[in-house]
Amino acid sequence: MQLSEEPLICSARGCRNPAVHALRWNNPKLHTPDRRKTWLACDAHLTSLGDFLRARQFLREVEPLAAE
């Protein structure tokens, strides 16, 4: 079920491109191991957002967004 007709937008600051990847992460100091937060990324920002989360050891998985 889609809650909105709005497209999913990249989470990078200032980016308005459609998101095509979901970066699932958690901060182990704040979240239980099974909790996942999600950042969305366009192709252009996948590496920079992933690198930011990897540097902090927060990134758990990256998944493609399903096409509607």
Q: Is 58 helix (H, G, I), strand (E, B) or coil?
A: coil
Diameter of the chain measured on Cα atoms? 35
Phi, psi of 48 (to 5 degrees): -65, -40
Supply the pTM of this predicted model: 0.85
As beta bridge partners, residue 39 has: 23
**Which ranges of the chain have pLDDT less than 70?**
1-4, 67-68
How confident is the model at residue 66, as a pLDDT? 79
Residue 29 makes CB contacts below 8 A (sequence gap 6+) with none
